[in-house]
Amino acid sequence: MEVWVSIIISVCAASTPLLLAATGELVVERSGVLNLGVEGMMIIGAVTGFSVAQVTGNPYLGALAAVAAGAFFSLLFAFLTLTLVANQVATGLALTILGLGLSGMIGEGFVGQPGIKMQALEIPLLSDIPVFGKLLFGQDLIFYLSIALVFGVSWFLFRTRAGLMLRSVGDSHTSAHALGINVIRIRYLAVLFGGACSGLAGAYLSLVYVPQWVEGMTAGRGWIALALVVFASWRPARLLVGAYLFGAVTIAQFHAQATGIAIPAQFLTSLPYIATIVVLVLIARNRRATIINTPASLGKPFVPDH
C-alpha cells in the first residue's frame, strides 16, 4: 500500500504544473484569446522562481516572483495582440522562443546549483493517518492551490456575473461590445491571469518537482497544457481529470524504466507526447462537439469601433 501511495503522490507532483498552466490558459481561451506562449511563460517562471529563491533563501518569495514574471510576459503578449492587434498565433510562438532563450541566459549562472525545495505542509495528526495521511494532508502549498484554483475558476465562470461577461466576450466579442462590455479590458485581465498561472507552474518545476535549474526543463509541458484545454472542452472539471491522466502517463514511463521492461527508453520518454497526439486526433474526429464547445471568437482579433 505504501508503494501505491508513493506512486499516487508522484502522479500528483507530475500533474500539478500541467493543471496550473492549463487552468490559466482555459480562462484565456474562454475570453477569446489564443496564447500559444504557455511554454515560454512557464520556463520564465521556472528560472525566476529558482533564482529568487537562491538569492533570498525563501522558496515562497521565489514562487511569488515567478507569478509576477509570468504575468509580465503575458502582458507583453496582451499588448502586442490586443492593443497592436498582432497575429495571436505568431506572437504566442515568438513568446515561447523568447522565453526559452531568455531563461537560458538568466539561468546560466545557476546551472548545477542545488535548489531550495518548497517543503510539504505537514498537518499535525492528519498527516500521520495511515495510507491517506501523506496523500491528502502532506502535500506542498502549490498542490493545494492548484486544486482550489480549478474549483475557483469553475465557480467564477459559471456562477458569477463577471464570469458570464468573460464567456460572452469569448463567444461573441461584437455582441458583448454592443452591450457595453469592455472587451479589451476583460481580455487583458484574462491574459494576465493565464500568465500568472503559467509562471507558478514553472516555479513548481524548479522549486518542488525537481528543485534545481536545468535549461529547457519545461520539456514541452506548455504544449501539453494547451492540448489539455481542448481535451477538457474548455471546462475546468474535465481539466482536472485530464491533467491527472497525463500525469499518470508521465510517471508510468519512469516506473516502466525502473522495472527493466525491454522497451527503448526514448519511446517511454515520448509517451506523454504520443498520448497528447492521440487525444487530439480522437477529439478532432468529433467535429460537431468541438465546434459547439469552442469559444466562437477564439483567436479572432477585435478592434472597438469608438
pLDDT digits (tens, 9 = 90+) for 129-152: 776 777 788 889 999 999 999 999
259 or 26, greater pLDDT: 26
Q: Which three cell numbers stand for residue 38?
A: 504557455
126 or 104, greater pLDDT: 104
Rg (CA), the chain: 19
pLDDT of residue 71: 97
Distance CA 12, CA 89 (A): 31
Place of cell 529568487: 52
* DSSP character at residue 138: S
Residue 210 has pLDDT above 80, yes or no: yes
Distance CA 117, CA 57 (A): 10
Containing H/E element for 284? helix 271-285
Query: How much is the average pLDDT of 216-226?
Result: 92
Distance CA 162, CA 30 (A): 12
Query: How much is the average pLDDT of 255-266?
Result: 68
pLDDT of residue 231: 87
Q: How far apart are the first and last CA of the chain?
A: 64
Distance CA 227, CA 248 (A): 16
Band of residue 173 on the pLDDT scale cut at 50, 70, 90: very high
Which pLDDT tens digit goes with each residue over 224-237? 999 999 988 899 98
Query: Which residues have a Cβ under 8 Å from the Cβ of 47 and sit 6 or more positions away?
Result: 103, 106, 107, 110, 202, 206, 213
Residue 270 has pLDDT above 90, yes or no: no
Which pLDDT tens digit goes with each residue over 43-53? 999 999 999 99
97 or 282, greater pLDDT: 97
Beta-carbon neighbour count of residue 72 at 10 Å?
16
Which residue, among 146, 145, 140, has the nearest Cα to 120 in the 3D structure?
A: 140
Query: How much is the average pLDDT of 159-174?
Result: 96
Share of the chain above pLDDT 90, in %: 66
Beta-carbon neighbour count of residue 252 at 10 Å?
17
pLDDT of residue 37: 96
Contact (Cβ atoms closer than 8 angstroms) between residue 120 and residue 138: yes
Write down the H helix ranges in 107-181: 132-137, 141-159, 161-171, 173-178
Query: How much is the average pLDDT of 263-286?
Result: 75
Tell me the average pLDDT of the chain.
Answer: 90
Would you call 20 exposed, middle or buried from its count of C-beta atoms within 10 A (0-12, 13-18, 19+)? buried
Q: The domain 2-293: what is its CATH number?
A: 1.10.3470
Query: Which residues have a Cβ under 8 Å from the Cβ of 78 and sit 6 or more positions away?
Result: 33, 187, 188, 191, 192
Distance CA 244, CA 146 (A): 12
169-201 per-residue burial string, b: 16 or more CB within 10 A, e: under 16 = bbbbbeebbeeeeebbebbbbbbbbbbbbbbbb
Contact (Cβ atoms closer than 8 angstroms) between residue 192 and residue 33: no
Which pLDDT tens digit goes with each residue over 12-55? 999 999 999 999 999 999 999 999 999 999 999 999 999 999 99
Place of cell 495582440: 81
Residue 246 has pLDDT above 90, yes or no: no
Residue 302 has pLDDT above 70, yes or no: yes
Low-confidence winner among 62-66, 116-120, 162-166, 251-255 (lowest mean pLDDT):
251-255
Query: How much is the average pLDDT of 237-250?
Result: 88
Query: Which residues have a Cβ under 8 Å from the Cβ of 181 and sit 6 or more positions away?
Result: 165, 168, 169
| Helix (DSSP H) and strand (DSSP E) numbers for the chain | 14, 0
